[in-house]
Amino acid sequence: MRIVLLGAPGSGKGTQSQRLVAQHGIPQISTGDLLRAARAKGTPLGLKAKEAMDQGKLVDDEIVLGMIRERLAEPDVSKGFILDGFPRNLAQAHALDALLSELGQPLDAVVQMDVDYGELMRRISGRRTCADCGRVFNLFSTPAEQIQGEKCPKTGEPHKLIQRPDDTEATVAHRLKVYEEKTKPLIELYRDQGMLQSIDAEGDVDEITARLENALRAASKGAPGKKRVADKPAAKKKVAAKKRAAAAKKSVKGRATASAGRKAKSGSKAKSAGKPKRTAVRRAPAKKAAKKVAKRAGRRPVAKRAAGRKTASGRARR
């Protein structure tokens, strides 16, 4: 599966990604981790990224996209991947879309992890990472003494807990603001594409994992989070635009159709989804409008003529 986990800093993308890795055997691709690794190595890109990261700003798209492009070219992504922390703004989302189309590997699901602002602040300020194995803990959910009782798999010693330099209160506030401004619009984007699944990401970590797995199952079945093409606002707009164009061509017939089209939008989605044009001429308000127009034009109502043809061909009328 090719998955994007979308959520504010502290929403648990990293923790849940690690669980998906273990469960599904697909790699986690975290731009935060890639950037931290580049920083640690002291590469020119890493040093450039450092300044933005320490201030809680987004690193330049160019740098992040270069890293993603390289990472997606590695063989272990052939079975799928979990993108954690990427994309983070609209430009990155569009670039990802283009890149995945090029690779012939479109996304299967985007899961938004929903957490309250106050809870995010609490989680981030309590977050500690083992400097050796990279495991993430939270002092609020797991007391330090308990964590210290565990052995680090890398060193065999107790975990060496450190706080990320960008987890200070001021930086966190800025990161949350950046999330609101730059990343949140992606929720709408993926919802419009019928890709979005949202889960409540508060509460017990195992329960959140179960919700996430459910969301992924739903996405792979194409329901219920995935909207059908005809239900998408973009598709609706296309249908409405077609109707308006038809209306402009045939002034008498068009006026009746456009009016019915507007009414059809508020009607049953399921029934009208695949056949918006037919619905438009069959509905009662269309007949009324057509009658009015036809009366003025001095001829037989359009809706009646259209309906007559349909009845004659044996099609059921609503």
Site residues (CB under 6 A) for ligand ADP?
A: 9-10, 30-32, 35, 52-53, 56-59, 64, 85-86, 88, 92, 166, 175
3-state secondary structure 221-246: HCCCCCCCHHHCHHHHHHHHHHHHHH
Q: What strands lie across the sheet with 109-114, from one edge to the other?
A: 28-30, 81-84, 2-6, 109-114, 196-200
Q: How far is the CB of 24 from ligand ADP (least distance, A)?
A: 20
Query: Is 191 assigned a catalytic role?
Result: no
Question: Is the Cβ of residue 9 or residue 225 nearer to ligand ADP in the bound state?
Answer: 9
Among 2, 71, 127, 243, the one annotated catalytic: 127
Q: Which two tokens stand for residue 52?
A: 């933005």
- Tokens representing 68 are 């993603």
- H/E element, 247: helix 233-249
Structure tokens at 149: 């009782």
221 a catalytic residue: no
Smallest distance, ligand ADP to C-beta of residue 11, A: 8
Q: Which of 71, 123, 175, 287 is catalytic?
A: 175
Q: Check if 13 is active-site.
A: yes
127 is catalytic: yes
Question: How far is residue 240 from each of residues 127, 255, 264, measured CA to CA in Å?
Answer: 50, 13, 10
Smallest gap from residue 93 Cβ to ligand ADP (A) = 10
- Phi and psi, residue 243, nearest 5°: -65, -40
Residue nearest to ligand ADP (CB): 32
304 is catalytic: no
**Nearer to ligand ADP (CB atom), residue 199 or residue 258:** 199
Give min distance, CB of 231 to ligand ADP, in A: 30
Active-site residue, selected from the candidate residues 50, 154, 160, 164: 164
Active-site positions read 13, 88, 127, 164, 175
